[in-house]
Amino acid sequence: MQDILLLSGPNLDLLGTRSPEIYGAATLEEHVAAARARAALAGLGLRHVHSNFEGDLIEAVHGARVDAVAIIINAGALTHSSWALADALAVFTGPKIELHLSNPAAREPFRHLSTLAGVVDGSLAGLGALGYPLAVDAVVALLAQR
């Protein structure tokens, strides 16, 4: 079965208790389950990697070059600082979606920069829990266009 790689960056393991007024009440496991269920409808598997460490996420992107057909990434605050993660993603040739629960453009100025925006096919932000299955839908549509 072909797999989508879903990557979760720093502090997303705290979802459910972390600022629920911003990020909602669902846990990361619940978001992953929703994404995996949507992927299964399209006949795709979904592998999830969470790390609070930039290097782990970069390694996972490298690994995806041989074992994943697409990447969905919520890089947390690394979105706003990590040129290294952007460089890694640039090398991956399959569909790539940047995902955020909140809408960083409507928040503090430091969240307005995304280092990833220029190397992904598209971004989904501000849709809360809806974003996870919608990101899978986007990946499936992009794969169908190839």
Q: Which of 8, 74, 82, 123 binds ligand DQA (CB under 6 A)?
A: 74
If binding is defined by CB under 6 A, does position 96 make contact with ligand DQA?
A: no
**DSSP H helical segments within 1-146, as ranges?**
20-23, 28-41, 54-67, 83-91, 131-144
* Spatial CA neighbour of 139 closest among 64, 28, 56, 52: 64
Question: Judging by beta carbons within 10 Å of its beta carbon (0-12, 13-18, 19+), is residue 70 exposed, middle or buried?
Answer: buried
If binding is defined by CB under 6 A, does position 8 make contact with ligand DQA?
A: no
Give the number of residues in contact with ligand DQA, rule: CB under 6 A: 10
Active site (annotated) includes residue 23: yes
Q: Which of 48, 50, 100, 132 is catalytic?
A: 100
If binding is defined by CB under 6 A, does position 34 make contact with ligand DQA?
A: no
Active site (annotated) includes residue 80: no
Q: Which residues are catalytic?
A: 23, 100
